[in-house]
Amino acid sequence: MELNNEISNEQEELKAFRKTLLSFWQYEEFAIREHYQPRYDKWMSLSDHQKALLPNDYLYNLDQIKSKIHSNAEFYKDAVLSTAETLGFDLNYLNDWEMPSTSDMNKTCSILVQVYREFSAACQEERNILLSRIQALLNDIGQTDDKLTILVPGVGIGRLIVDLCILAGSTATVISNEYSLHMLTLSMFLLNGNLDVNQYTIYPFIHSFSHWDMKSNQLKGYSIPDIDISSQNQSRGGLNMEMRMGSFADCFGPNVGIQESSQYTVTPDMRLKRAEVESSIDIVITNFFIDTGFNILDYMETITHALKPGGHWVNFGPLLYHFENDANQETVYETNPYTNNREIAKPNTPLKGLELATMEILDIATTKLNYKIKLLEQGIPSGYGKSESLIHIPGYLCNYWVIQLQE
Amino acid sequence: MELNNEISNEQEELKAFRKTLLSFWQYEEFAIREHYQPRYDKWMSLSDHQKALLPNDYLYNLDQIKSKIHSNAEFYKDAVLSTAETLGFDLNYLNDWEMPSTSDMNKTCSILVQVYREFSAACQEERNILLSRIQALLNDIGQTDDKLTILVPGVGIGRLIVDLCILAGSTATVISNEYSLHMLTLSMFLLNGNLDVNQYTIYPFIHSFSHWDMKSNQLKGYSIPDIDISSQNQSRGGLNMEMRMGSFADCFGPNVGIQESSQYTVTPDMRLKRAEVESSIDIVITNFFIDTGFNILDYMETITHALKPGGHWVNFGPLLYHFENDANQETVYETNPYTNNREIAKPNTPLKGLELATMEILDIATTKLNYKIKLLEQGIPSGYGKSESLIHIPGYLCNYWVIQLQE
């Protein structure tokens, strides 16, 4: 995987990366304080009478939470050591790095479910919901004279790009981007860290105390990774994949039509990179992605800018708009494309507020952006790992569509 | 419905009730500000180019949000007028009442889904998931010499007690309690307000912008109530039901074994009421309830205190612990039952931290509290209204169990 740093201010970017590494480094202390300690304190607060009511293994299971947090921390420490080496950070100066926020720290807990989802054998069936559909699409498209170029925005830890390389063989190049440094850090470790199959055991569910049938299922460990990336790389003479850092619209969007914002910068460098990507992609795959941003139209315009005429947009996921309840605001700007001058500033633009329904998205795509619907499925159930132990945990109901940009 | 005010400090209670009524009164202004306005501002912030991309009915649908908020407010204003009259409040002094909190205001938005769930015909099928099972249990128990007494803690707006009175006919008395003044306010209006069938149309989903296939489904109205309570009352010579205000453990718990807290008071009055309830109940039905408190053991001890030997505990619902992520703390006390003196104070007791798994609850019930399991179902899907328009909205996976207290 080649990592292209698209961020103009490299020093700021490295500082943010160090803060992210520090959050993983501090995970154990944070998880103990937030998830173990209040439960121990709660137990301590009970009367002797109620303590005696609890199951005999109650304290043992509580202690297991602590010990599994420690195991997760072992995985994270190796990830930090590996990524710090890649990025040339000296861990001796760790105490001088900027402190992570509570939000950064919470991500170190929640992202373990993402690792489990992408890199455990238990979730193969769930990954197949999308992969089997993409396989059918590739069969449908058939052999082309040129290599296929596939773009996967917001790829998370990156398993999908590996699976796509394997699925499409040497006939495709897979490009992706990721905005979250937490995702990128683990991606660097899992894709480039030369990990053995099942080298680590992680405990993704120990921070969630609802919906369990048995504590043993909450405490269950999962081996990762279930795939040997380096031998896949060797046997295939290198996987044709490339990862870009930054927001989707910034990396791949059009130079006209999107307003300048925290997600889209107007610099000569970015303008050039965006111009290069125009009409260069055969398939864009948005997987649990289109509901993640402040402005879904920016995403749709970016997809349309990047696709070749005749190219396909494949979408899978629910419409769970991440910012639906976010009260924050930002300033967006309309910028003169000739002078690069900001001509209109719109302060107090809510991050939330543009939550389109499925049929609205498809209406825009077909009536305004020149797509034709080839396939639409709605209400496809997809949990976070369909293993038997999670029968109580509600999942998502997903859309799957394939639409084609007309020539 | 008879309303017994169990709260010692009546003035405080009336003050809290006025604050709750005021929150319903201010719903329209709040919902416009929180849910409509940011979406209008977001639309305003778009470039003309992106405004033109949106579906032709985009602004019309946005305006409909505002108009549906107004319709919901009409329902609430009638509820406030009716409840204020019942409680003897003079609405001319409304501006002097204590201002509701943001949390109070958010409840006025979310509780509409509860009204829809309990009092619309669209959710009859969903209500039947539990009702059909209770019918089977009543058939199984068969005729008894005495009238059955059924206790339903945390009954919400109260539809279940009406359905139980109809189901069991004149052979049962149904007792319930509710802690939330928002629930109680709407309960007083819907159960005692002499409403016509389908007198109101409410729009429960207009505050939720995720998971929609079409905006028309978000904007859908539902007629309420789907039942004529007053004629049910007349034709049956009065429904045998009684509603108590307060927390479950406070109203129905044992006088020994539960620690004094915000949910459990040690006064001679409450001690007497709790003593009266001992071994008086044939069936306790917890419906979406056991995951709502700070201490599930208090709930279990309360159920056990209230049940007759041979009585049944029926439970339905997920294990979505409401306080799992709540960082607040309270002080609990061990109180000498003879002197009423607080002997041990435990400050800084987390509200969260006692989230038992299904099998732990049943282990405690069978090995420590003398129950026998008669029936256990797990993973029963239950949404918030199984209508076709909600195919994208994920629901809950529920437990159903019937366990019997041994003689």
Residue B390: what pLDDT? 59
- Tell me if chain A has a CB within 8 Å of the CB of B9: no
Query: For chain A, what is the mean pLDDT?
Result: 92
Residue of A259, A55, A201, A208 whose CA lies nearest to B361: A55
Residue whose pair of structure tokens reads 């159960």 in the numeric block: B191
Q: Rounded mean pLDDT of B124-145? A: 90
pLDDT above 90 covers what percent of chain A? Answer: 81
Which of A211, A256, A305, A388 is best to mutate for the B interface (most B CBs within 10 A)? A211
Query: What local confidence, expressed as pLDDT, does residue A240 receive?
Result: 82
Tokens of B179: 């802690």
| A268-277 and A296-306 helices, crossing angle to 10° | 60
- Contact at 8 Å (CB) between A185 and A17? yes
Return the HEC string of chain A. Answer: CEEEECCCCHHHHHHHHHHHHHHHHCHHHHHHHHHHHHHHHHHHHCCHHHHHHCCCCHHHHHHHHHHHHHHHHHHHHHHHHHHHHHHCCCHHHHHHCCCCCHHHHHHHHHHHHHHHHHHCHHHHHHHHHHHHHHHHHHHHHCCCCCCEEEEECCCCCCHHHHHHHHHHHHHEEEEEEECCHHHHHHHHHHHHCCCCCCCEEECCCCCCCCCCCCHHHHCCCEEECCCCHHHHHHHCCCCCEEEEECCHHHHHCCCCCCCEECCECCCHHHHHHHHHHCCCEEEEEEECCCCCCCCHHHHHHHHHHHEEEEEEEEEEECCCCCCCCCCCEEEEEEECCCCCCEEEEEEEEECCCCCCCHHHHHHHHHHCCCEEEEEEEEEEEECCCCCHHHCCCCCEEEEEEEEEECC
Residues of B numbered 54-73 whose beta carbons fall under 8 angstroms of chain A's beta carbons: which are they?
Answer: 54-55, 58
Quick one: pLDDT at residue B242?
87
Q: Please state the φ and ψ torsions of residue A210, each to the nearest 5 degrees.
A: -100, 160
Check residue B2 and give its pLDDT. Answer: 45
Q: Which residue has the higher pLDDT, B314 or B240?
A: B314
**Any domain includes B49:** no
Other Cβ atoms less than 10 A from the Cβ of A214: the count is: 16
Distance of CA B211 to the CA centre of its chain: 24
- Quick one: tokens of A55? 């199951």
Among B102, B354, B376, B377, most A C-beta atoms within 10 A, so best to mutate, is: B354
Contact: B358, A213; criterion CB under 8 Å: yes
Q: Answer yes or no: is B51 within a domain.
A: no
Bridge-based pairing of strands B222-224 and B200-202 is antiparallel
pLDDT bin (cut points 50, 70, 90) of residue B393 is low
**B125-134, B233-242, B337-346: the lowest-pLDDT one:** B233-242
Question: What pLDDT, in 10s, does the model give residues A198-251?
Answer: 999 999 999 999 999 999 999 999 999 999 998 888 887 777 888 888 899 999
Q: Are A176 and A152 in contact (CB under 8 A)?
A: yes
Mark yes or no for CB contact B210/A397 under 8 Å.
no
Q: Are B246 and B274 in contact (CB under 8 A)?
A: no
The confidence score (pLDDT) of residue B402 equals 98
Name which of B310, B256, B307 is nearest B285 in CA terms.
B307
CB contact under 8 A, A346 and B297: no
Q: Which pLDDT band, with edges at 50, 70 and 90, does A9 fall under?
A: confident
- Amino acid B387: pLDDT: 53
Total number of residues shown for chain B: 407
Residue B297 lies in a domain: yes
Closest chain B residue to the Cα of A324, Cα to Cα: B209
Better-predicted residue by pLDDT, A267 or A395 = A267
Measured at the alpha carbon of residue B399, what is the angle toward residues B394 and B400, in degrees to the nearest 5? 130
Chain A positions touching B370 (Cβ under 8 A) are none
| pLDDT of A390 | 60
**Residue A312 CB coordination number (10 Å):** 22
Q: Please work out, in degrees rounded to the nearest 5, the angle formed at the alpha carbon of residue A294 by the alpha carbons of A288 and A299.
A: 60
In angstroms, what separates the C-alpha of B182 from chain A's closest C-alpha? 22
pLDDT at B388 > cutoff 70: no
Residue B300 lies in a domain: yes
Please indicate whether, in this complex, the C-beta atoms of B364 and A54 are within 8 angstroms of each other: yes
Nearest residue, CB atoms, A53 vs list B213, B297, B359: B297
Residue among A359, A364, A399 whose CB faces B54 most closely = A364
* pLDDT of res. A43: 98
Residue B254: inside a domain = yes
pLDDT for B133 beyond 60: yes
pLDDT score of A388: 53
Q: Is B376 on the interface with A (CB under 8 A)?
A: no
What value does the mean pLDDT of chain B take?
Answer: 92
Q: Is A369 in Cβ contact with B391 (below 8 Å)?
A: no
With an 8 Å Cβ cutoff, are A209 and B45 in contact? no
Residue with the two structure tokens 């071994």: B279
Give the pLDDT band (50/70/90) at residue B255.
Answer: very high
pLDDT score of B327 = 94
Parallel, antiparallel or unpaired: strands B222-224 and B307-317: unpaired
pLDDT at A389: 55
Do B29 and B59 form a contact (C-beta atoms < 8 A)? no
Q: In chain B, positions 277-306, which contact chain A (CB-CB < 8 Å)?
A: 291, 295, 297, 300-301
**From CA B168, how far away is CA B166, in angstroms rounded?**
6
A337 touches chain B (CB under 8 A): no
What is the reported pLDDT for B3? 46
Q: How many residues appear in chain A?
A: 407
Would you tell me which residues 353-372 of chain B have a C-beta closer than 8 angstroms to some C-beta of chain A? Answer: 353-355, 357-360, 363-364, 367-369
Q: What is the pLDDT of residue A235?
A: 81
Instruction: For residue B44, tell me if it sits in a domain.
Output: no
Residue A143: is it exposed, middle or buried by C-beta count within 10 angstroms (0-12/13-18/19+)?
exposed
B4 pLDDT band, cuts 50/70/90, is very low
Q: What is the CATH number of the domain that holds B277?
A: 3.40.50.150
- Which one of A208, A209, A349 has the shortest CB-CB distance to B45? A349
State the residue for tokens 């003050």.
Answer: B15
**Interior/surface letters A239-269, b for 16+ CB within 10 angstroms, e for the rest:** bbbbbbbbbbbbbbbbbebbbbbebbbbeee
Find chain B residues with C-beta within 8 A of A58's C-beta: 360
What residues contact A74, with CB distance under 8 A and at least 6 apart? A200
The count of domains in chain B is 1
| Smallest Cα distance from B48 to chain A, Å | 9
User: Which one of A332, A354, A399 would you mutate to disrupt binding with B, by most B Cβ within 10 Å of its Cβ?
Assistant: A354
The Cα of A196 is separated from the nearest Cα of chain B by a number of Å equal to: 34
CA–CA separation, A172 vs A239, rounded Å?
Answer: 9
Q: Please check whether residue B93 lies inside any domain of the structure.
A: no
A218 touches chain B (CB under 8 A): yes
Contact B391/A368, CB-based, under 8 Å?
no
A15-29, A90-104, A151-165, B222-236: least confidently modelled range: B222-236
Domain that holds residue B212: 110-405
Tokens of B147: 């009238």
Q: Return the bridge partners of B158, or none.
A: none
The answer to whether B384 touches B393, Cβ cutoff 8 Å, is yes
Kindly report the nearest CA distance between residue B258 and chain A, in angstroms.
Answer: 8
Contacts of B355 in chain A (CB under 8 A): 209-210, 212
Q: Which of B79, B72, B66, B2 is nearest to B38 (CA)?
A: B66
Is the predicted pLDDT of residue A164 greater than 90, yes or no? yes
- Tell if the CB–CB gap between A394 and B394 is shorter than 8 Å: yes
pLDDT > 50? residue A4: no
pLDDT of A319 over the 90 cut = yes
The reported pLDDT for the residue numbered A118 is 96
Q: Residue B325 domain-assigned?
A: yes
pLDDT of B391 over the 70 cut: no
Lay out the sheet containing A241-245: strands in order across. A2-5, A241-245, A172-178, A148-152, A281-287, A307-317, A396-405, A371-382
Angle (CA) A133 A135 A138, round 5°: 115
Lowest mean pLDDT among A141-155, A282-296, B187-201: A141-155
State in Å, rounded, how far the first CA of chain B is from the last one: 32
